């Protein structure tokens, strides 16, 4: 499990396929069933944007991230996602605190979070349903979710969310995901990163 920000994590739960899976999937286009010259073929596929063989490999992550980061990841609609529901579960007060803040700025974050969480608890005590009471909690709250994605779509997300103009918090998350992907698909990821 890789630690993420002040209170989150990114854990690769399982994966399917390998670099060999990608090469086999590409070779089938020509009725070939042997997989050789893996590195050169993967490089060729990436260079020429022949990306469908990369869809044969899947990764499933268990992630804890602030809601505002999770939504950036989820907006692509190319992954399968199942998230903890504040409709059915009482929210735990785990909030994102940015690094590098002044004492006063950090205090403002903390007091804002405490006030919203206190409001949430008051609403629950007044028998307001969880699904409504959750509306007062800010997007700095950590959420947890399973995130299953194929390698092709992960490459797309990684390229956009690791770009120089991407928000730091999402960039840090996709870097952790790429570290895990490198373990599963070393040739494909190295060739992708080299382009």
DSSP codes joined into one string, 33-80: -----HHHHHHHHHHTT--GGGGG-EEEEEEEEEHHHHHHHHTT--SE
4 pLDDT more than 90: yes
Residues taking part in catalysis: 161
* Residues making up the chain, counted from first to last: 195
pLDDT in the model for residue 31: 78
- What average pLDDT score do residues 14-36 get? 86
pLDDT for residue 35: 65
pTM: 0.93
Asked if 3 and 64 touch (Cβ cutoff 8 Å), the reply is no
| Three-state secondary structure call for residue 30 | helix
Longest dimension (CA), the chain: 67
Query: What angle, rounded to 10 degrees, do the helices at 168-184 and 151-161 form?
Result: 150
CA distance 25 to 136: 48
């Amino acid at each position: 499990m890789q630690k993420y920000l002040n209170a989150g994590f990114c854990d690769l739960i399982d994966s399917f396929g390998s670099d060999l899976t990608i090469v086999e999937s590409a070779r089938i286009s020509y009725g070939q069933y042997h997989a050789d010259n893996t590195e050169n073929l993967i490089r060729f596929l990436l260079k020429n944007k022949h990306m469908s063989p990369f869809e044969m490999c899947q990764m499933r992550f268990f992630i804890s991230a602030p809601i505002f980061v999770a939504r950036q990841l989820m907006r692509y609609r190319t992954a399968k996602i199942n998230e903890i529901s504040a409709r059915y579960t009482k929210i735990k007060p785990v909030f994102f605190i940015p690094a590098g803040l002044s004492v006063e700025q950090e205090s403002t974050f903390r007091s804002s979070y405490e006030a919203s969480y206190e409001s949430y608890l008051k609403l629950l005590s007044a028998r307001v349903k969880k699904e409504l009471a959750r509306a007062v909690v800010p997007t700095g709250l950590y959420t947890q979710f399973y995130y299953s994605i194929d390698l092709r779509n992960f490459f797309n997300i990684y390229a956009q969310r690791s770009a120089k103009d991407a928000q730091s918090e999402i960039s840090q998350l996709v870097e952790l995901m790429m570290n895990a992907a490198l373990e599963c698909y070393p040739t494909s990821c190295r060739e992708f990163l080299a382009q």
